[in-house]
Structure 1
Amino acid sequence: MPATRHLYLARHAQADPATGKLTDTGHRQAELLGARLREFAPQALWHGGLPRATQTAHLIADHLEGVTPVELAEAGDYAPHLPQRHEVPDAHADGVLDFLARIPAPERSPELGQRALELLTGPAKGSQERREVVITHAYLVAWLVTAALDSPPWRWVSVGVANAGLTIIRYTPRSPSSLVTLNDLDHLPPDLRWTGFPPHLRP
């Protein structure tokens, strides 16, 4: 019988746009996120392959006991769903489609998006509860949140995700998936919060 899966999602910590490597702020964010995740005692740590996600995951792993970071293609940086115009309400269609058109072709992968749903969501196999961490990028966090809420797939484009913010989704057998937290930044002091978030959306 399946068991409950707790999925701990985080966008990588702040990185230098020029190099892709973590900034000093990003290093501090990752360390503090690792300390926060330690309290959940996760059994797995997945991460995307780009330097900013890899660095974040390895800094987090230093705080976790018996967990080795594992690179996962499905945790990479890509557009997970490309809606057709008829999927998007007329009031939003132009804006959504214009946004998607600006994403380079190599960074569009609905196939990976579907595989991410199959691999990372739903109750855990077996009888033991699972606690899994995924260090990824804004688009995938948004995609998994959208799926957890059974929202129309195109709505992933409207979910904002901060650097090192913690999102928790709970998948329990025979119950709907539950979004426990989104962009939880309590582990960060005020001066480290909301990086990577559009200024006009910051609280």
Structure 2
Amino acid sequence: MATRHLYVIRHGAADPFGELTDVGQRQSELVGERLAHLPVDAVWHSPLPRAVRSARIVGEHLPGVAVREAAELIDHVPHVPDEMPPAWAGFFDGYDAAEAAAGAALADALIDRFARPAETETHEVLVTHAYPVAWLVRHALDAPPARWLGLNCGNTALTAIEYRDGVAPTVLLYNDMGHLPPDLRWTGFGPGTRP
């Protein structure tokens, strides 16, 4: 088995209807420029419009690279803890057992498809959402399932994970916004002080 290099990004900033804003388009252009020097084999995206548009913009910087949908990348809650952290109790109000099971099934499908070595050396870009990014990082670190709750990422922040046969995954980058100027960083987070 060969190394799978995943470059995971959250879609650009979007409006309340899920469409990219001008900021989100610019963020997507800048992450596309950052990825342009890499030997990318494929760009995969969630079926939701904000991820589709971000992926297409990224793809414009990667001539000849296929840009395709992967249903496993859709925005979803990957795990509902049995013992709810008090700070998150309101977030999970209304989730029933069927919704939790559907989210867990999607999370398993995401891991089964992307979180493993490849048959040949491959470099793939995944354009997805904050929760699937958190789930992939949590899995790579072999952290407890509820640990995804504390992992958030900014719009078009870059996370890089490598998967090799016989060794644990390597998280090279998480939430890296170095390609964004200060005024385009930290979108997708709530209010607060940021470095």
- Aligned AA (1:180): L
**CA offset at residue 38 of structure 1?**
1.2
Does the C-alpha gap of structure 1 residues 83 and 58 become closer, same or farther in structure 2, counting only changes over 3 Å? same
TM-score normalised by L of structure 1: 0.89
The residue number in structure 1 matching 2:147 is 155
1:189 aligns with 2:188: no
**CA offset at residue 202 of structure 1?**
2.4
TM-score normalised by L of structure 2: 0.92
**CA offset at residue 97 of structure 1?**
4.1
Conserved 8 A contact 1:41-1:65:
no
Report the Cα distance in structure 2 between the residues aligned to 1:40 and 1:97, rounded to whole angstroms: 41
Unaligned 5+ segments in structure 1 are none
- Aligned AA (1:32): L
The residue number in structure 2 matching 1:129 is 121
1:113 aligns with 2:112: no
Report the Cα distance in structure 1 between the residues aligned to 2:193 and 2:160, rounded to whole angstroms: 21
Report the Cα distance in structure 2 between the residues aligned to 1:165 and 1:201, rounded to whole angstroms: 17
**CA offset at residue 201 of structure 1?**
5.8
Report the Cα distance in structure 1 between the residues aligned to 2:88 and 2:49, rounded to whole angstroms: 28
**CA offset at residue 71 of structure 1?**
1.0
The residue number in structure 1 matching 2:156 is 164
Report the Cα distance in structure 2 between the residues aligned to 1:75 and 1:49, rounded to whole angstroms: 8
**CA offset at residue 95 of structure 1?**
2.8
- Aligned AA (1:4): T
Task: State the 4+ residue runs in structure 1 displaced beyond 2 angstroms.
Answer: 93-108, 198-203
The residue number in structure 1 matching 2:138 is 146
Number of matched pairs: 193
The residue number in structure 1 matching 2:11 is 12
Conserved 8 A contact 1:58-1:69:
yes
The residue number in structure 2 matching 1:26 is 24
Report the Cα distance in structure 1 between the residues aligned to 2:93 and 2:5, rounded to whole angstroms: 34
SS state at 1:109 partner: helix
**CA offset at residue 194 of structure 1?**
0.9
Does the C-alpha gap of structure 1 residues 44 and 194 become closer, same or farther in structure 2, counting only changes over 3 Å? same
CA RMSD of aligned residues (A): 1.8
Conserved 8 A contact 1:41-1:64:
no
**CA offset at residue 100 of structure 1?**
2.4
SS state at 2:23 partner: helix
Report the Cα distance in structure 1 between the residues aligned to 2:39 and 2:14, rounded to whole angstroms: 26
- Aligned AA (2:173): T
SS state at 1:199 partner: coil
Does the C-alpha gap of structure 1 residues 98 and 7 become closer, same or farther in structure 2, counting only changes over 3 Å? same
Conserved 8 A contact 2:78-2:106:
yes
Report the Cα distance in structure 2 between the residues aligned to 1:38 and 1:102, rounded to whole angstroms: 42
Report the Cα distance in structure 2 between the residues aligned to 1:145 and 1:139, rounded to whole angstroms: 10
SS state at 1:115 partner: helix
Deviations 1:32-78 (A, max 9, x none): 11111111121011101111000000001000122121111110011
Report the Cα distance in structure 2 between the residues aligned to 1:54 and 1:35, rounded to whole angstroms: 17
Report the Cα distance in structure 1 between the residues aligned to 2:87 and 2:94, rounded to whole angstroms: 11
